[in-house]
Amino acid sequence: MKTPYHYLVLTLLVCVAYGNTLQHSFHFDDISSILEKPWIRGLDKIPDFIFSYSQRPLVILSFNINYAISGFKEWSYHVFNISFHLIVVFLVYQSVKLILFHISQKNKSIVNESNQIPLLAALIFAVHPLNTQAVTYISSRSSIMATMFYLLAIIIFFGGVYKTNKKENKINYIYPIGGVVFCGFGILCKLIVVSFPAIIFAYHFYFISDQSIKSWIKRQLKWVLGITGTLIIVFLYKKLYGDGLLRASIVNITAWDYFRTQIGVIPFEYFRKMLFPFNLTIDPDFHVIQHWKSRIAIGGMFILGIFSIIWIKLSEVTKQSKKYALEAFGLIWILITMSPTSSFVPLLDVATEHRTYLPLVGFSIVMASFLIRLKNFIQQSIKDNVHGICNNKQILRLSVFLIFLTLVSFLVGTRERNKIWKDEVSLWTDAKQKAPSLVRPYNNLGEAYDKLRHYDLAIAEFEAALRLNPNYFFALSNLGNVYGKKKKYERAIFYTKKALQQKKDYAPGHYNLGKALHMTGNPKKAILSYRSAIKYNPYFEEAFFNLGFLSLEQKQFIEAIDNFKNFLEMQPRHPKAHFGLATSYAMMGKQAEAKQYYQNAINYDPDFLSPYINLANIYMTAGNTIEAKKLLKMVLLKNKNLAGVHKNLGLIFMQEKDINNASKYLKEYLRLMPMAPDAVAIKSFLKNNN
């Protein structure tokens, strides 16, 4: 099969594997990373984040483009994830072809036996179920994009290395520089790319150099020390003066406890799921290991020891004949690319499946090489009449069938796992069933029910979470929020305050408390709570919005204006925020500003009637009855049952001495509100003018 057909097969397989995800909902971190991220709402926001490398600017840029295409409709986000995954699949194919090219410079016979490996490695990577979290979970796009640039950097970096004679390699340095540039792009997606220098050294050792390990290390020592020293300096700078190098959040775990835990996570969580991708979950039930006597720690060290011995033995054979170069490189790839997230730097979650996306490239290479070697061995045994099976081709067919069955089982597993990612209820129900002792799945399932307004189901899940951990502040705050929606404000205040006792800087807790206090007639305390929510989360849109209207209600117009403006920086086309800002200006007597923002509210939502009415009142006060009538008539075209609008039109026509029109609108006002306080006076007017 020719190369173009390889790409076609890979494309079709990826489409089949992930074609059932296009309508899947946003999940978990998607809320904060996409729905609540003000930077993605408009291409004009690009300057706000593009130079902030700590915020993964290229990933945010991709979300920004998604928003320009489809707003918050999920389909374009999934199309991007699938497309990036397909590009990575192509790059896996090209990477293995490049490796085989370099091996061919040393031993052409090995390449002749291995020319099917690039396609098989790409096929395995394309449909492996362990990749579903990275591809289907929109926020995990960062892993895909980082891997994409990582592989591009490798391909370009070594694209200038060629064999000129038997004694030396010459390098066109344009290619290595290009590789470093793409590595930089990868860092702007996710800092897992810091392992790139180690992979470059490993690639050079296995596929470019002819030296022994000792000679190679001696010759490359200055580069190894230089790059290692640079990384250490960057790490220390970020650690001391920045926000941490790879930390996802503040975690209560020491570096040694995290490292000890990863010794168990790597073999029992990641290796296991690479080989047997079953029982996948968004929230693995893997606990922190706090002492070396743990059976998991001991077992992990034993398995990693065996892994290391195999790698060393393969490496020794490789330097003699390049025979097992692919396998040795694939094995060390797995460990090197896992090191940023599975070493000494504590992350919020000790294990999560999307961290295996980049390491799975190495696994796919090893697995593909093993399967092809097995097939070739059987084929050669038959050809040579080994063990008397010269005429029996069933075993060969069985080996081919084994490869086919592996790919089909992976494909089916991927599609089935994608179904679990359909929505938050299915995702967290699955997580709860697979890890019933973990508190987070109960809480997040409760949040999913809350969004669907299934409040009783939500309360049941939050209470189940609290039975596992009575001080789990997420569940406490969420309980307060749900009880507030059920108008049980005393309970809402009780649970929210209890949550804030556990974590005083929890912004959603202050926000929920503010809502409950407002509804129970404590506006001043509510204002303080909303201010605290904004203090701890400067991008808390709902807090700005609610505080704006509450400040307006309390006649604190300057604070109201400030909050509406802050909100509009994040959601510039929000009609109710423009309305609130306009009303604040109107109450301060700034009619010009009020007119501008009322008109903005009308432009952004022509069916929102309050701005028409308030703007008409401004024109009435200024004596511009023509504009006032025009606006009020537009309101009645949209809703003819607004009594107050009929009254205002009647009064305008009275002022203009147009008795017929005044009578028409005032009669309609009385029909709609026959018991109005001014009904007697209006009836008297109508009687005197008939």
**DSSP 8-class letter at 51:** T
What is the phi/psi pair of residue 373, to 5°?
-60, -40
| Distance between CA atoms of residues 688 and 669, nearest Å | 17
| Distance between CA atoms of residues 466 and 462, nearest Å | 6
| Distance between CA atoms of residues 161 and 171, nearest Å | 5
Task: Give the pLDDT of residue 167.
Answer: 46
| Nearest Cα to Cα of residue 85 among 172, 8, 169, 11 | 11
Task: Give the pLDDT of residue 400.
Answer: 79
Contact yes or no for 398/414 (Cβ under 8 A): no
Helix axes 117-127, 75-104, angle to 10 degrees: 160
| Nearest Cα to Cα of residue 508 among 34, 26, 31, 25 | 31
Contact yes or no for 231/197 (Cβ under 8 A): yes
| Distance between CA atoms of residues 326 and 155, nearest Å | 16
Task: Give the pLDDT of residue 374.
Answer: 80
| Enclosing H/E stretch for 56 | none
Contact yes or no for 561/579 (Cβ under 8 A): no
Tokens of 322: 């390049």
- Scored b (16 or more CB within 10 A) or e, 145-172 reads bbbbbbbbbbbbbbebbeeeeeeebeee
Contact yes or no for 122/96 (Cβ under 8 A): yes
| Distance between CA atoms of residues 474 and 438, nearest Å | 13
Helix, strand and coil in the chain, % to nearest 5: 75, 0, 25
- Scored b (16 or more CB within 10 A) or e, 280-312 reads bbbbbebebbeeeebebbeebeebbeebeeebe
Tokens of 387: 């063990």
Task: Give the pLDDT of residue 246.
Answer: 46
* Residues pairing with 170 in the sheet: 162
Q: How far is CA 208 from CA 40, 204, 228, in A?
A: 43, 5, 21
Cβ neighbours of residue 308 under 8 Å, at least 6 residues apart?
Answer: none
Helices (H), strands (E): how many in the chain? 34, 2
| Nearest Cα to Cα of residue 427 among 454, 448, 412 | 448
Task: Give the pLDDT of residue 390.
Answer: 47
Cβ neighbours of residue 444 under 8 Å, at least 6 residues apart?
Answer: 28, 424, 428, 431
Q: How far is CA 491 from its chain centroid? A: 33
Q: Where are the alpha helices (DSSP H) in 204-294?
A: 213-241, 255-265, 272-275
Neighbours of 5 (CB within 10 A): 10
Contact yes or no for 389/381 (Cβ under 8 A): yes
What is the phi/psi pair of residue 170, to 5°?
-110, 145
Task: Give the pLDDT of residue 163.
Answer: 41
Low-confidence stretches of the chain (pLDDT beneath 50) = 162-168, 242-250, 389-391
- Could you write out the DSSP letters of every residue in 17-39? HHGGGTTPPP-THHIIIIIT-GG
| Enclosing H/E stretch for 123 | helix 117-127
Contact yes or no for 476/443 (Cβ under 8 A): no
Contact yes or no for 454/486 (Cβ under 8 A): no
Helix (H, G, I), strand (E, B) or coil at 681: helix
Contact yes or no for 200/157 (Cβ under 8 A): yes
Which amino acid does the sequence have at 282?
A: I
Which amino acid does the sequence have at 629?
A: K
Task: Give the pLDDT of residue 490.
Answer: 93
Q: How far is CA 482 from CA 320, 471, 485, in A?
A: 67, 18, 5
C-alpha torsion 338→341→343→349, nearest 10: -130
**277-281, long-range: CB < 8 A, 24+ apart:** 277/128, 277/129, 277/130, 277/410, 277/413, 278/413, 279/434, 280/129, 280/130, 280/132, 280/133, 280/353, 280/417, 281/353, 281/430, 281/431, 281/434, 281/435
Q: How deeply is 221 buried, as exposed, middle or buried, from its count of CB atoms within 10 A (0-12, 13-18, 19+)?
A: exposed
Helix (H, G, I), strand (E, B) or coil at 571: coil
